Structure 1
């Protein structure tokens, strides 16, 4: 694949919503990347987005964008059903791909995309900003170094109030529609599973329970919308290491208490906390040594500069960047992706890891249907 005259990786973004407001500024933190194109479904909106975000080339046909020889990477937004078509077209055109989460709408779709990515010999990753979080990287380093000894328990929770009240102009009411591959388990759950697999390794079996607790949404138009997707999910996890875990998530949780991962080991404890959305602006990592005590004694662990760098420099969180501080985490993720394109190897949140996450999500739904533990070993029945 030819590069531009500057030698930079040329990125085309599909989406004028999250792709433009969050991914675009993250890509622009990397000196070896240039975002050269943006695509929406209509000529008028594509041209308007290109002008608004100072992108040279508007597209309103994703197939034309994927076929363009002057684009190296497709960063695909929109819902999982449409994204599968976009990612397939991009891979068939020999493009490297950044896919959103949920990765796909089904395990079969995920297997098809991963097989095609491997066949074409290109790099693929999911845009999981939590994996790019410096605090998560430090947590993994400390666990790998034996800081808390053998890991016994892992608890992960993400509680947000996104859908307790629908505000005018909110663009994601389609998250309540079935058949599009979205739900709190598939969306927030996928991000959480990427983080857990990154730090604690494979999961071998699960129990899951999903509910739709807010049965209807009151829309600003005065209409009432029936909700067809789960908004609350609880799971038990058994890691291949022997550790036991829990995963709980909701997007109808009052007060949006945020995200945490709590790990208990034979020698101590690590807790990653983030009010609201996990980012460099909200996250903190706490550590404690094993000791008999009635009250917790953890202290905050500062993140070293080397883990806060993007393209060789420290980038501070911008409270006005419209991403909840995710720009830095996404940029670190994209930097790893760019490195994999340039030097080879697997990027963070790779397609292979995304397939592992998809299998775990499908196992959770299978468990919900069966009311039983579900095994995740290769060839296990997830129907």
Structure 2
């Protein structure tokens, strides 16, 4: 692999699969060689659209394709456990879209399977691979704002999401938290690690998914994170990191920013801009490059998106959902805390829960 292109397989044919495939086309050391869908027709159409040589009419056929080095799983997140698990069992390396799975139990099962099979696995948390976010984290780690005291982040959008839309469908893991809230949670934990306490409230839909959710995360050192997500209102999608000696503001699109501003005591504000040489600031190529770098280095997971970090984020999402009263079909009480997922991967227990109880759903 070190002397040839990395051969990608694409599992699913929706919008994310198309966007990722288009970004791979701009990487000279990447080649998309196969695509799969549940049926042959959409796979063939996707292959025709992107000039992919092989189209598989089942996930199993892609998992067995020996000409594929790594599979990108872009199904709706309720299917991540099944799709990624199938590929891992077959010995395929996997990049799986976020949220990684529906809950920490499923995430732990995938991590344990990848480690047992000795194959690469990474969540497609593109934010962690973004060069400007990495620069922000390095500044925070180097003490540019002093001791971190607080993080704020929100991600909200509004649109026509009728009953049956995937964002309103419990069977597809619908709701604001898993689709959008994963970003504020992941951003806070990138800087502060797994919280010791979680308190959350939400407004729920008639179907039982969260329309908007607010969460307060706490850490034993005294830091707080105030996070919000919504599918009923377009928020600024901004973030801020406040420390004992300054703050960093990301004015828009913190999950794939084009700039941020560092404010320090006694100094003029410093603006940091995305470097055009890195490629589009909001592109998916950054995570693809990290996967290919890790594969060529013989690594089984990425230091930028470590599996233990993915499990920690899933435990926090589980704790939030347990408090606001969102449970998906087939989940059990163990899934509310993430204990089963942590145990499956040999990790720590779930987060310390806070006060329970969702905000009543609107009439």
How many residue pairs are counted as aligned between the two chains?
Answer: 333
Are 2:314 and 1:336 aligned? Answer: no
Deviations 1:161-216 (A, max 9, x none): 1x3x259xxxx91221113223211121112222222233232221111212xx4x
Are 2:256 and 1:279 aligned? Answer: yes
Q: Distance in 2 between matches of 1:82 and 1:166?
A: 20
Looking at secondary structure, tell me which structure has more helix per residue: 2
8 Å CA contact 1:155, 1:246 repeated in 2: yes
The aligned runs of 1:168-187 (5 Å cut-off) are: 173-187=165-179
Q: Which residue of 2 aligns with 1:244?
A: 224
Are 2:37 and 1:67 aligned? Answer: no
Q: Distance in 1 between matches of 2:187 and 2:220?
A: 16
8 Å CA contact 2:338, 2:349 repeated in 1: no
Deviations 1:304-347 (A, max 9, x none): 74xx54xxxx42x3xxxxxxx632xx211121121111114432
Q: Which residue of 2 aligns with 1:355?
A: 311
Local SS of the residue matching 2:171: coil
Q: CA, structure 1 residues 360+73, in 2 after alignment: closer, same or farther (shift >3 Å)? A: same
Q: Distance in 2 between matches of 1:114 and 1:375?
A: 14
Q: Which residue of 1 aligns with 2:132?
A: 135
Local SS of the residue matching 1:139: helix
The aligned runs of 1:35-50 (5 Å cut-off) are: 35-50=32-47
8 Å CA contact 1:233, 1:250 repeated in 2: yes
Are 2:212 and 1:235 aligned? Answer: no
Q: Distance in 2 between matches of 1:211 and 1:298?
A: 41
Q: Distance in 1 between matches of 2:169 and 2:314?
A: 19
Q: Which residue of 1 aligns with 2:96?
A: 99
Q: Distance in 1 between matches of 2:18 and 2:242?
A: 37
Structure 1: segments with no counterpart, 5+ residues: 216-225, 292-296, 318-324
Q: Distance in 1 between matches of 2:140 and 2:60?
A: 44
Q: CA, structure 1 residues 241+96, in 2 after alignment: closer, same or farther (shift >3 Å)? A: farther
Q: CA, structure 1 residues 23+304, in 2 after alignment: closer, same or farther (shift >3 Å)? A: closer
Q: Distance in 1 between matches of 2:352 and 2:58?
A: 36
What is the aligned-residue RMSD (CA, Å)?
Answer: 2.8
Q: Distance in 2 between matches of 1:55 and 1:363?
A: 41
Q: Which residue of 2 aligns with 1:290?
A: 265
Structure 2: segments with no counterpart, 5+ residues: 327-336, 340-346, 354-363
The aligned runs of 1:128-277 (5 Å cut-off) are: 128-161=125-158, 163=159, 165-166=160-161, 173-212=165-204, 215=205, 227-253=207-233, 256-274=234-252
Q: Distance in 1 between matches of 2:46 and 2:19?
A: 14
Q: CA, structure 1 residues 344+243, in 2 after alignment: closer, same or farther (shift >3 Å)? A: farther
Are 2:117 and 1:120 aligned? Answer: yes
How big is the shift at 1:375? 11
8 Å CA contact 1:207, 1:368 repeated in 2: no
Deviations 1:360-383 (A, max 9, x none): 10111223359xxx9999334889
Local SS of the residue matching 1:154: strand
Local SS of the residue matching 1:74: strand
8 Å CA contact 1:204, 1:240 repeated in 2: yes
